[in-house]
Amino acid sequence: MILNMKKQTLSSIGLLLLLSLGCNRMQAQNTQAIVTGHVFAEVISSFSALETSQMNFGRFSPGPFGGQIILTPQGTVSVLGSVVQGVGTHNAASFSVTGDIYTSVSISLPKTAAILTSTSGAKTMKVNNWSSVPSAEPGTGTLLEGILEVYIGATLEVGTINDNPVGIYTGSYTITFDFN
């Protein structure tokens, strides 16, 4: 009987230990919560501008006094002074501006003249009086469907035939598009 009591006592102690360990495990499970978090990021279109048509004043002869060739953003040409317009093509510059839909765009035209230099020498002509459609004012363009076509015109200052001998004249200019 003493042996039986010892077995019962040991069994009771073992049961208490198991219960005690089980309670500690339950307490440990109640002190920790595991949750899944979510992350979000959105990639949008990058804003860019690409020249789709180069400005071209066309073919002409300066005449004895020179003058001006005025090229509108709509692509029409008029001449002043002794300049005689030749046969051939001319066109306003055009730029395709792309980005996030319905973003407003401001256009900044050059503040100074662009210099065209003869490919066969050091003779030059100036391009100034820049204009655009849409106009160059803050927030005047909108990227409908994520695209805006911008047209640029200017005035070419032409010297005499001695100032601007026969040849091809080239140069570049900078237009800035600010996305608002």
* Cα–Cα dist 38/56, whole Å: 54
**pLDDT of res. 123:** 94
* Cα–Cα dist 153/117, whole Å: 19
Q: Is the pLDDT of residue 8 over 90?
A: no
**pLDDT of res. 2:** 47
Could you tell me the residue ranges of all domains in the chain? 48-179
Q: How confident is the model at residue 45 (pLDDT cuts 50, 70, 90)?
A: low
Q: Is the pLDDT of residue 106 over 70?
A: yes
* Cα–Cα dist 83/65, whole Å: 8
Contact 154, 126 (CB under 8 A): no
pTM value is 0.75
Q: Which amino acid is at 136?
A: A
* Cα–Cα dist 144/104, whole Å: 9
Q: Specify the DSSP class assigned to residue 90.
A: -
Mean pLDDT of all residues belonging to the chain: 86
Q: What is the pLDDT of residues 148-168, one digit of tens each?
A: 999 999 999 999 999 999 999
Six-digit token string for 11: 């069994």
Six-digit token string for 75: 């692509």
Q: Residue written as tokens 């008029």?
A: 78
